[in-house]
Amino acid sequence: MSKKLLLTDLLSRLPDAPLYAWHGIGIEGISVLDITQDSRTVRDGSLFAAIRGNVHNGEAYIAQARAQGASVILCHPDALPLCEGHPAITCQEPRYLLSLIAAAYYQPQPSNMVAVTGTDGKTSTAEFVRQLWECTGHPALSIGTLGLKSNRILQDLPPLSDNTSPEAVRFYEALSVACNQGIMHAVCEASSHGLHQYRLEGLQVQCAIFTSFSQDHLDYHGTMDDYFAAKTLLFERIVHPRGLAIMCSDEPRIAALAQSLRAKGQRTLTYGTHGDVRIDAITPMPTGQAVALYYEDQRYSFHLPIYGDFQVYNMIAAMLAVQETTHHHLAELLTHAPHLHTIRGRLELVATTPKGARVFVDYAHTPAALSKALHTLRPYVNGTMTVIFGCGGDRDKTKRPLMGKEARMGADHIIITDDNPRTEDPATIRTEIHAGCPDALIIPDRREAIDHAVRHGKAGDVIVVAGKGHEDYQIIGTRKIHSDDAEIIRDTIGELLIHASS
């Protein structure tokens, strides 16, 4: 998607832009035909953003961008000598300015925008928001870990990165393309990385959700305080001053943030075992769970055909967001709860083995998420519970023994295996996990580990394959190879059925 805009017009659209400086020839008359931070896509008229990334430094490609016809370069002041008189905009925070420019260039945008942050629950909550919008007759789009999802067939959507929160240029382009095809309701996941790197600046958010907070990403943020501070940026800078903040009151830090926001005049709604929406009871059922809650002094009961008490929390947050953006009351939205469907890889019942063991796949890759998954499934266990999991390489190392400890506390049998070891030694990762669960069995190959558990499962047993969820790959070294937990489970059960019938 490209259109021709005078740079003066584009810059005049920026709200509260950071200080920037113009260099080179006069700004009048310069046009922008597209925006990119990938030098390989630069063409005549491109605005090229030379961003210093974790892996690649865009400043190294300024000369290439100039040679390919970039009309203007956006960069840090230190990189100005590389522009050698070429038209350039410098800013101390180029990512921030890039997001604002991208939001101003890619117009129009959906008029109803929801953003979801939290250590766990972002994907499920965002998907429930999308499903509920669609249930109430509003074409919708979700952007996040699962990519771009809509019940409409949308044309010409740009490819997005694997990041939970995509880079700003493609993110805003996707929203604009969808909006031009009738999508007025959109929800996105707001990761701590994305917020810290200004990827959502310029987004017009009517409703922001904070689902949960626990340890993760300390390899990037360093401390829990810094990690939480990154999450709060959604409420401090992104959500509209008259927008709604929806907060899980069961987490002390989030509850304190809700109080602080209210004191500043921000509209807030809380939910949990106490709050504006109070969960009264969650009862496990063979086909999901029965739920009772209080809202506005009324008690409501309904059935949710999805496993996991944490999914009840996610669903409530989603319903409050949809109530805000459609004016359908929560009571009406609850009638749609029985029609919500499981999000792939989120406590997903994949299959039942020939001997009667039920096998679930879950994305849990933090200590808190693993604990929740095992605790949630315990009522469904009439035999033993087995959990299979690993930890990613080149990521937060401190959570590895904690994951092992949660597995030991929540499961009867534990199998440690590999999960995206990347460039780390897989054996070292497994050893660090093993410190938290010394009695665990170690089977390095993930397919073999799943195969072992499935073949040994008996009637009444529950098997939980955690960590990968919807992902269909393993990253070993720098190679991405095909590996899908659900597919492996079904393949093994298929082999067992063939063997049983022969």
Mean pLDDT of 147-158: 90
User: Which residues are within 8 A (CB) of 471 and not within 5 positions of it... i.e. 6 or more apart?
Assistant: 345, 363, 484
Radius of gyration (C-alpha) of the chain in whole angstroms: 24
pLDDT for 18 beyond 80:
no
C-alpha distance from residue 285 to each of 292, 302, 303, 377 (Å): 13, 12, 9, 11
Q: In a 3-state reduction of DSSP, which class is residue 258?
A: helix
- Tell me the one-letter amino acid at 260: S
Residue 178: alpha-carbon gap to chain centroid = 19
What pLDDT sits at residue 162? 65
What pLDDT sits at residue 183? 97
Quote the pTM value.
0.86
Instruction: Kindly compute the dihedral angle of the four CA atoms of residues 378, 379, 385, 387, in this order, to the nearest 10 degrees.
Output: -40
Distance CA 102, CA 176 (A): 11
Q: What is the pLDDT of residues 200-251, one digit of tens each?
A: 999 999 999 999 998 776 676 779 889 899 999 999 999 999 999 999 999 9
Top-confidence residue, 145 or 133: 133
Residue 324 exposure: Cα atoms within 13 Å on the Cβ side: 26
Q: Do 62 and 84 form a contact (C-beta atoms < 8 A)?
A: no
Among 141-155, 214-228, 329-343, the least confident range: 214-228
- Tell me the one-letter amino acid at 132: L
The domain segmentation of the chain, as residue ranges, is 5-104, 106-339, 348-501
Q: Do 391 and 424 form a contact (C-beta atoms < 8 A)?
A: no
Q: Which fold has domain 5-104?
A: 3.40.1390
Distance CA 155, CA 363 (A): 29
pLDDT for 361 beyond 80:
yes
- Residue 54's pLDDT band, with cuts at 50, 70 and 90, is confident
pLDDT for 17 beyond 80:
no
- Tell me the one-letter amino acid at 363: Y
Distance CA 246, CA 249 (A): 9
| Number of C-beta neighbours around residue 64 at 10 A | 13
Q: In a 3-state reduction of DSSP, which class is residue 46?
A: strand
What pLDDT sits at residue 165? 67
Q: What is the pLDDT of residues 402-420, one digit of tens each?
A: 999 999 999 999 999 999 9
- Residue 327's pLDDT band, with cuts at 50, 70 and 90, is confident
Q: Do 113 and 133 form a contact (C-beta atoms < 8 A)?
A: no
> What does the mean pLDDT of the chain come to?
93
Mean pLDDT of 465-487: 95
Distance CA 36, CA 40 (A): 9
* 348-501 CATH, one of 3.90.190.20, 3.90.550.10, 3.90.79.10, 3.40.50.300: 3.90.190.20
Q: What is the pLDDT of residues 23-41, one digit of tens each?
A: 876 677 889 999 999 999 9
Query: Does the N-terminal peptide bond of residue 108 adopt cis geometry, omega within 30 degrees of 0?
Result: yes
Domain 106-339: CATH architecture, name and number where available: 3-Layer(aba) Sandwich (3.40)
